[in-house]
Amino acid sequence: MLDRELQHAVSEDDRPLVLTTRDAEDGLLFWNNETGFGRLADATVFTPREAANAPAVIAADEPEWLTAPRWSL
């Protein structure tokens, strides 16, 4: 049981993150370093360390970090 808990804790620290914002017309949008907010398929994926050091992104809605869906990686 402890091994599983330890593995989960480590995986939480290594989880890939995407920066998101909500748009009234398009719904959830995902940050891409080159093109701005758009489709999940084009999202830039960050490590937690990269996310912590990423510059602020200005959007109409406050951007939030979310764990990237596994199928998007």
Locate 38 and state its tokens: 């758009």
CA 44 vs. chain centroid, Å, equals: 8
Cβ neighbours, 10 Å, residue 45: 15
Locate 29 and state its tokens: 């949008």
- The greatest distance separating any two alpha carbons of the chain, rounded to the nearest whole angstrom, comes to 45
Report the candidate in 53, 66, 54 with the shortest Cα–Cα distance to residue 22.
Answer: 66
| 1-34 pLDDT, tens digit each | 444 554 554 455 678 999 999 999 989 999 999 9
Whether 43 shows a pLDDT value over 50: the answer reads yes
Helix (H, G, I), strand (E, B) or coil at 6: helix
